Chains A and B, each alone.
Chain A
Amino acid sequence: MELHIHRETDGIVRLALEGRLDTDGVDRVETRVNAALARAEHGVLDLSGVTFLSSLGVRLLLSAAKTLQRRGARLIVVAPQPLVEEALRFSALDQILPVARDVDGALALLQG
């Protein structure tokens, strides 16, 4: 599981995850994801490199989104692979987390 962190100039933090977001993967990145988002204006989470999402991965997304929301910030999920998108649907997360097709789409959502 790999995590890449990019800070945009306007305080938006863009994270890209790569690998399996399962027990082990979540263990490896959770602290760094939360730290990177701690002072973000908004978060953009690129899931295009994620091949597997379990309930612990869902929990990581949910708790990050909740933390951001408490201070009026949003988390946008970007480009999940088809089976990961299905897992988002199975956990009903697609109902409450905005999903954008690409990073530009996510930034447009945040500025819109």
Chain B
Amino acid sequence: MSGAPPPPEEPAGGARLALELAPSLTALAAARDRVRELLERRAVAEATRYAVELVLEELAGNAVRHGYAGEERGVMTIEVELTRELVRIRLTDDAPPFDPTVHPEPPPFTTLEEAPIGGLGISMVRKVTSAMRYRRADGRNHLEVEVRRAAGR
């Protein structure tokens, strides 16, 4: 027999994945694939998977692009916990303090001229999440986000 060992026992309806990564877009893409694999394996609905990927792309991606500003030194962590009702995502990084929960909403716009270029990521995340909590501790940003699980596939 060869190949990977069998996955560890997962609680009924729930599962957990903890990843540590360098602050680079390549490492983040690999982490996202691991998260997607888990969610697909656990038959999480497509709309929920989309929301989780949006959280990773916007919040963890933001930390890579702006927090670390291209410096690939540091350690980020991504933890995904799946329960019957929701997907909880915990992100930490050692970039400078940044609290997205108090980030202002872009001004409303009704015409193409008024629409701001950029700054919509956190706003989009707010619309697909049911909770977002931030704290700064031990020189790290800690962000906890919850996505309610949609019904169906």
- Point out residues on A near B: beta carbons under 8 Å: 22-24, 52, 54-56, 58-59, 62-63, 65-66, 69, 83, 86-87, 90-93, 95-97
Q: Is A55 in contact with B58, judged by CB distance below 8 angstroms?
A: yes
Q: Is B118 in contact with A59, judged by CB distance below 8 angstroms?
A: yes
Contacts of B108 in A (CB 8 A): 92
Q: Does B2 contact A (CB under 8 A)?
A: no
Q: Is B50 in contact with A52, judged by CB distance below 8 angstroms?
A: yes
Q: How far is the CB of A34 from chain B (nearest CB, A)?
A: 13
Q: Which of B109, B111, B120, B121 has the most CB of A within 10 A?
A: B120
Q: Which B20-60 residues sit within 8 Å CB-CB of chain A?
A: 25, 29, 46-47, 50, 53-54, 57-58
Q: Is B120 in contact with A83, judged by CB distance below 8 angstroms?
A: no
Q: Is B46 in contact with A83, judged by CB distance below 8 angstroms?
A: yes
Q: Is A66 in contact with B112, judged by CB distance below 8 angstroms?
A: yes
Q: Is A62 in contact with B57, judged by CB distance below 8 angstroms?
A: no
- Point out residues on B near A: beta carbons under 8 Å: 25, 29, 46-47, 50, 53-54, 57-58, 61, 65, 108-113, 115, 117-118, 120-121, 123-124, 127-128
Q: Is B57 in contact with A54, judged by CB distance below 8 angstroms?
A: yes
Q: Is A87 in contact with B111, judged by CB distance below 8 angstroms?
A: no
Contacts of B61 in A (CB 8 A): 22-23, 54
Contacts of A69 in B (CB 8 A): 112-113
Tell me the bound Cα distance from A90 to B128 in angstroms: 8
Tell me the bound Cα distance from A20 to B46 in angstroms: 15
A sample of 9 inter-chain contacts (CB < 8 A) reads A22-B61, A23-B57, A54-B121, A59-B120, A66-B117, A69-B112, A87-B124, A91-B123, A96-B109
Q: Which residue of B lies closest to A96 (CB)?
A: B112
Given contacts A22-B57, A90-B128, A62 and B117 within 8 Å (CB-CB): yes
Which 8 pairs between the two chains have the least Cβ-Cβ distance?
Answer: A55-B121, A90-B127, A54-B57, A55-B120, A83-B50, A90-B124, A91-B120, A96-B112
Tell me the bound Cα distance from A55 to B112 in angstroms: 16
Tell me the bound Cα distance from A96 to B115 in angstroms: 8
Given contacts A55-B118, A66-B112, A83 and B124 within 8 Å (CB-CB): no
Contacts of A91 in B (CB 8 A): 120, 123-124
Given contacts A55-B58, A55-B120, A83 and B115 within 8 Å (CB-CB): no
